[in-house]
Structure formats: structure tokens, C-alpha cells
Chain A
Amino acid sequence: DTEVTQTPKHLVMGMTNKKSLKCEQHMGHRAMYWYKQKAKKPPELMFVYSYEKLSINESVPSRFSPECPNSSLLNLHLHALQPEDSALYLCASSQGSGIMDGPSYNEQFFGPGTRLTVL
């Protein structure tokens, strides 16, 4: 299985709602990532999990809360979002988790994304 899956495909939520995005991979990868992508822009890194521990938080607001329950799953919990948080949220995974693994192991595999709309 060489796929990263994300659910749901689309999500519409109000500013007072709490929702979660889910990402799953069964490639045995050791690192997982959340990205945010606005229209006509490249993806922006939000969080990196390495061996199920949070290793990078790119100064993301606390209304976004990541969780890695196990090595195959990555969640992004959403609460009190703003309309400007509307975007495509992408999950990715890689076999390697950093420079010690070498570049060949740090190729990232992306999921299809969740299109989030905040009303």
C-alpha cells in the first residue's frame, strides 16, 4: 500500500464548531506532516511528527491541534477557526525523519487533501 488517505474530502464548519481531519498511511513511514495550502500558493508546513512525537510546529495558532495516536495515524483537531483558515489541508508521510536518514528517505508522499471551508 503506497497511499496516504485523508478524510473527509470536504468539510464545512462554523467558527464555533469542533471538527477533526484524519490522515492514514500504511507504508511504515516514520514521519508525518500537516500542510496548509491556500489557492494559487505552494503548501505551507504546519506540523511534523517524527516517531509519533511532535518535532516541528511552525508557529501554528492553538486553534489547530495535531495528534498522532500511532505510527499510521495523524489527526488535526480544529476549534474556533476563522474564515481565513479556509484552505486545502494536506497530509504527507516520509520513510525518513531527518538529515540522518539521507535525502532518499525523506521523499514525502502526499494525500489528496481535505478542502476546508470556515463560515
Chain B
Amino acid sequence: AQSVTQLDSHVSVSEGTPVLLRCNYSSSYSPSLFWYVQHPNKGLQLLLKYTSAATLVKGINGFEAEFKKSETSFHLTKPSAHMSDAAEYFCVVIGRYGNKLVFGAGTILRVKS
């Protein structure tokens, strides 16, 4: 069965400093991985996705993630945090039958001015 573990429940950074949100996955075969962002009382927006093409994936709003099979990781990064990045971020793997998303517990990102 697939699973994802988000290693930090909360991350706090200062505006203009780098962001790192960590995600490890477990999958018995080649996974498809996603990062979604959710602002308060809003739906989920897809930031980026890995589907076995390039291992370095670029997403919206300056975010990117690198798929590392040897480390079973898919960490999300951004060079410079903006106040508008404050939100909850979910790392997600697609289940075996392709239409069930398996969510991590989420990481709340706080950006200090």
C-alpha cells in the first residue's frame, strides 16, 4: 500500500528566506506524487506533480520538488518565501488504482515578516 509521511507538522520561516517542506513516501511500485496547497477555508490547489518524467519538477508560484527514489523523498522547496505562501501543504501519492489520493497529514507553513 502507498503512504506518505510529512516530517514536519509546522514550519516557520521569515519572508525572503528559503522554504523546505519534507515528504517521504512508501510505494510498492513507481509512484505519482503531488503537492497541494490549501489556504484557510479554501479548496486545494495543485502546486506540482511528479509522474515519472523529470525528477526535478517545477510548479506554480516558484515552488519546485525533487523526486529522489534512493531516499524515497519528494521534498518541496522555494528559494524565497512570500507572505502569501502561508498556508497548509499536503504531499499526496496516488493509490494503486489511480483514482484514490493518499494524503500526508499536512504541514502548516507560517511566514513571518
Enumerate chain A interface residues (CB-CB to B < 8 A).
Answer: 4, 6, 31, 33, 40-43, 45, 48, 50, 55-56, 88, 90, 92, 94, 96-104, 106-113, 115
* B106 & A107 in contact (Cβ 8 Å cutoff): no
Residue interface mask B41-65, A partner, CB < 8 A = 1: 1111110010110000000000000
A109 nearest in chain B by CB position: B46
CB of B27, distance to nearest CB on chain A (Å): 12
B3-18 interface code vs A (CB 8 A; 1 in, 0 out): 0000000000000000
Complex-state Cα separation, A101 to B36, whole angstroms: 21
How many residues of chain B get a CB closer than 8 Å to chain A's CBs?
A: 24
Residues of chain A contacted by B94 (CB below 8 angstroms):
103, 106
- Which residues of B have CB within 8 Å of A101? 98
A/B pair count, beta carbons within 8 Å: 72
Closest residue on chain A to residue B42 by CB atoms: A112
CA distance A57 to B90 in the complex (A): 23
B34 proximity list for chain A (CB < 8 A): 107
Contact A99:B98 (CB < 8 A) given known A43-B44, A112-B42 = yes
Chain B 78-113 interface 0/1 with A at a Cβ cutoff of 8 Å (1 = within): 000000000000100010111111011110000000
Bound CA span A4–B52, Å? 27
